[in-house]
Chains A and B, each alone.
Chain A
Amino acid sequence: MSEIGTSIPNVTVRGPEVPRNIQALDPVFNVSGLSVFYGDYAAVRGVDMVIGNREITAMIGPSGCGKSTVLRCFNRMNDLIPGARAAGKITYHGEDLYGDHVDPIEVRRRIGMVFQKPNPFPKSIYDNIAYGPRVNGRKKGMDGIVEEALTKAALWDEVKDKLKQNALSLSGGQQQRLCIARAIAVRPEVILMDEPCSALDPIATTKIEDLMQELSRDYTIVIVTHNMQQAARVSDRTAFFTAEVDDSGVRHGRLVEYDETSRIFTNPSDKRTEDYITGRFG
């Protein structure tokens, strides 16, 4: 891990072939004062961040600091956990995500999610992709949707001859790309990814990273990762979380620093961020 710190200048931060004007931040999510509770336990406290349109935002930090918890607030997946509750405010294109009028089903349709472990349905490849559009009421033009989603997820060439085959017969990396294709098929605006590469080998990881770069032209992507090179390679902005112990000895997740990825990895303003990315973190 320690070579990350010393080799920071060599880390390619978003190659120059994809020029972007990061400054002009077009907010998709606006998070202010977000705290998330599991029962009485505040897992994360006081998070403020703005997620930019068609950017890749990475969330890094030690295990248990609440990255997944925050990520799951963006598509209201935390609603499914009994006792989980979010306080504070998250707006999505200016609209309160936790407002009374908001239907979580509709939120999840617009904001897709890819999980840490590939979780294809025990159905055919075709049916996996078609599932999302079908539950959202689409009946016609399914072949086109399936092909488009698989093509975007860079999986079409590998599976086009076996669409009727069970998705569980694919390799882990293929399954994860299938899950990305499945998320794309409902035409979301945002894709949330919780450690999407942690179960994959380096080659499959590279493929998914390339895919994320590709997808960021059309989609806003938020990714949780433990792999700091990955955050440095793919993301535009990076949020560093850590767990703090408060006066009564309880651990809470905190957002320490949130900035452009290049700044976080070359010139972090917080000592804790620096310690973490240089591997000095305890």
Chain B
Amino acid sequence: MTVLTSIGKAASPGPRQLAGRRRPVRETVFLIALQFSLVIAIAFLAVLLAYVISKGWARLDPRLWENMPSIRRPENAGAQSAIVGTIYLMGLTALFVIPTGVLAAIYLEEYADRDKWYNRLLELNIQNLAGIPSIVYGILGLGIIARVIGLGFGLITGALTLALLVLPVVIISAREAIRAVPPSIREGSLALGATQWQTIYRQVLPSSIPGIATGSILALSRAIGEAAPLVMLGAATFVAFNPESLTDGFTALPLQIYNWIGQSRPEFGVLASSAIVVLLALLLVMNSVAILLRNRYQKRW
């Protein structure tokens, strides 16, 4: 009301009617706070990047991906087994988590009756699972996948554990993508005599693939940086061979970095930094693919 009356008083006939009020101090402060938090976030990232790149620069050369790790001779040490291990781990995790996550999301969005208590319970649990610390998943992998199921401590156990870790995130993002497909598309398809599965397979999924892909890639890039569950699984931090079968022992970049940082000789610190750069580069590539996908298939309705 006060605003209204003050405008009423100020509204004298004249050319200045459209001039508007000056931006109130509160808004300016708010804007500065917003920009400030953005600057902090970006500055932090920039400093981190600058630090690891400058430190690791000396060892950012082919030796890093051509040679195997070595504890005795840092000048020849590489991270090939860790890079290969990370890539295998990613591929396998994706293989496990994407179909499972997408199918679960389809069930929850398209079939589940939200009035049923067990569906609501399921939904609630998925939200909660997304928040569980990764080390707990490591314990689960160790206890159930490695011991009870007996898959041992190889690549497949690592991938399954990471898949479980990011599954909730994949499900949640796939659900969002599926929900974004307008109901009118489903109705249009069903009205033509399509079955529910035909409607999902031919209309809903193709329309939500960009969203699903983006979400899955972002989830996988979380998995790629995880060390804790792998440590729990007893993944060796020093492996001088590339994994050749699903049950082979393996190492991954975060573990290799952790191992090198723990060494006393400064050369290993440099090596760790260069491995961090490689890890960040991998992450960056994955996220750019996600962004590309998202921009390329912008909403079309």
Contact residues on B (Cβ < 8 Å of other chain), bracket: 20 to 34
Which residue, of B113, B192, B207, has the highest number of chain A Cβ atoms within 10 A?
Answer: B192
B 79-107 to A, binary, CB cutoff 8 A, 1 in contact else 0:
00000000000000000000000000000
Contact of A122 among B115, B192, B193, B207 (CB under 8 A): B207
- Measured CB to CB, the nearest residue on chain A to B182 is A119
Contact B184 A168 (CB under 8 A): no
Contact of B202 among A75, A113, A135 (CB under 8 A): A135
Contact B194 A135 (CB under 8 A): yes
Q: How far is the CA of A120 from the CA of B113 in the complex (A)?
A: 27
- Given contacts A115-B184, A121-B203, A168-B300, are A132 and B190 in contact (CB under 8 A)? no
Contact of A135 among B113, B185, B198, B301 (CB under 8 A): B198
Residues 83-129 of A at the B interface (beta carbon under 8 Å): 105-106, 108-110, 112-113, 115, 117, 119-122
Contact B193 A136 (CB under 8 A): yes
Tell me the number of A-to-B contacts counted with CB atoms below 8 Å: 68
Contact of A112 among B184, B191, B194, B207 (CB under 8 A): B191
Residues of A within 8 A of B300 (CB): 122, 166, 168
Contact B187 A109 (CB under 8 A): no
Q: How far is the CA of A117 from the CA of B221 in the complex (A)?
A: 40
Tell me, yes or no, whether A219 is within 8 Å of chain B by CB. Answer: no
Q: How far is the CA of A112 from the CA of B187 in the complex (A)?
A: 11
Contact A108 B203 (CB under 8 A): no
Contact B113 A108 (CB under 8 A): no
Q: How far is the CA of A117 from the CA of B191 in the complex (A)?
A: 14
Tell me, yes or no, whether A177 is within 8 Å of chain B by CB. Answer: no
Tell me, yes or no, whether A43 is within 8 Å of chain B by CB. Answer: no
Which residue, of B182, B184, B188, has the highest number of chain A Cβ atoms within 10 A?
Answer: B188
Residues of B within 8 A of A121 (CB): 185, 188-189, 203
Tell me, yes or no, whether A80 is within 8 Å of chain B by CB. Answer: yes
Tell me, yes or no, whether B247 is within 8 Å of chain A by CB. Answer: no
Tell me, yes or no, whether B76 is within 8 Å of chain A by CB. Answer: no
Contact B193 A109 (CB under 8 A): yes
Contact of B184 among A117, A182, A183 (CB under 8 A): A117
Contact B185 A80 (CB under 8 A): no
- Measured CB to CB, the nearest residue on chain A to B194 is A135
**Closest beta carbon of chain B to A153's beta carbon, Å:** 14
Residues of A within 8 A of B198 (CB): 135
Contact of A132 among B182, B192, B203, B301 (CB under 8 A): B192
Contact of B192 among A80, A106, A108 (CB under 8 A): A108
Contact B192 A112 (CB under 8 A): yes
Contact A115 B187 (CB under 8 A): yes
Q: How far is the CA of A168 from the CA of B182 in the complex (A)?
A: 14
Tell me, yes or no, whether A243 is within 8 Å of chain B by CB. Answer: no
**Closest beta carbon of chain B to A135's beta carbon, Å:** 4
Tell me, yes or no, whether B195 is within 8 Å of chain A by CB. Answer: yes
Tell me, yes or no, whether A77 is within 8 Å of chain B by CB. Answer: yes
Which of B's residues lie within 8 Å of A, judged by CB?
A: 113-115, 182, 184-185, 187-195, 198, 202-203, 207, 300-301
**CB-based closest 4 A-B pairs:** A109-B193, A132-B192, A119-B184, A113-B191
